[in-house]
Structure 1
Amino acid sequence: MTHQQILDKLAAKHLTKSIDDDLATLTFYAMCYEKDLEKQLSYILPKLLNRWNCVLNASKISNNYKQKTTIALSVLLHKYGFKDDIINKRAIDAIDFLNKEVVLSDDFFRKSEEIKLFILSSPTPLKRKPSVPESVTFYRKGDVISIQLENYFYAAYIHSISGVNESPILEFYDGVFDKIPTWEELENLSAKGQLYNSGIERISKFSVYGLKHEPDTANQIQLIKACVDTPPANHHLEESVGLHSIIDLFKMQNDITNLFNPDR
């Protein structure tokens, strides 16, 4: 049995591909920074779960989708040479749940014990860095989106799309929310700038690679409104340093923290 054979049995192609892409990106950078597997995992796992906990902890996501996500996380961590005992235990429970609810095929049911043994087996560490997935986006200029990070929500306006549908160039609204904000809560907000050590707050835009699916398979990104002509006002901010920062979905976690909580 292979990783892909197990993933195919989940009948969730876009879900498993999204997690695979995320892990390929995170593993690539972890292997650039660290040689030790445990240190690589300590870099990967918090960033991965900051994104996929938006599924696992969401109240409005179906339980079946959550269980498939848990199994996919376990199998794909194994594929990239890692394991996490908590995720693996939850994956075993998820297999039992899906079988009890008769969600997947007879073949999944018949091979469940084999899948469990596979998940619990020792993974083989990668010998070389994985390829970073090609970047493509289905978001468009004028989209206003919500981005969840841990228990808070941030909103951003997409000014344009770089390259040939490669990455949205966005600017954040100056607001932090306990739930997905409405357009009415955002339309009169100005832009959030980056506060520099000099005390000057400057226009801050980001070209975000990996911001792909709409709707987002990880439930982290939500489209609030499309075709918005007017971006958040930033005339109160000083000129930016460069056009924009080039980041990915996971670097964006750090940038949101630095933008809204510079003292953390």
Structure 2
Amino acid sequence: MMRPIIIALDFQNQQIVMDFLNQFDHPETLFVKVGMELFYFEGPAIVKKLRQMGVKVFLDLKLYDIPHTVEKAMEQLGRLDVQMTTIHASGGSAMIQAAKRGLVKGSQQVNGQPAKLLAVTQLTSTSEHQMQEEQLVDVSLTESVTHLAKLAAANGADGTISSALETPLIHQAAGDAFLCINPGIRLQSNSTDDQKRVTTPAQARELGSNGIVVGRTITQAKDPQAAYQIVKQEWEG
């Protein structure tokens, strides 16, 4: 699988998305993330529009519910022909297995390839102190992430969404074929905003990342295409 740069389309509506994508010479070559803000306003129509354009889609809705509900929801998402989608690994083994079943079944209905199922370990906005104090998880952040990654891998997930700082540990625990897709990516000159565990594209590459999710660094740049090229050069080394 290629090592994508995934642009996080954290925008309010389709019009803003299209205005953004029109700043690129070849938007059809892009890989983008559709998250909750955009999906909850535009619904499946935005995903269908992007796929019709040829754009690859990472649909990041982080499902977390009882296994039956997650399976039926994933069946619907599988029919949208997305390339990646997410659940919370902390939903447990039965939920992870159900998510995979739903994705496969949904994709079969449209003769598509099942999306890569990525499990969120701990959000990149979560600190170890917060995890221990608020979630009452009494192990270290790295132990929690490693445990959840192994749980996800053992139950059919294709990879994790996690900080690039944890990629070596996850690959060590779950194998090199297990994908580590890393948000919280910033250029050295950018602010970290609400992210706690951030890295640059170059650092993510050196840590063994299988793909990076980049938002504000590109989407809030004066010249998004130029910013994308800077990220690409650093990512590809």
What band does the TM-score fall into relative to the shorter chain? Answer: under 0.3
Name which one, 1 or 2, has greater alpha-carbon Rg: 1
| TM-score, normalisation: structure 2 | 0.26
Whose helix proportion is higher, 1 or 2?
Answer: 2
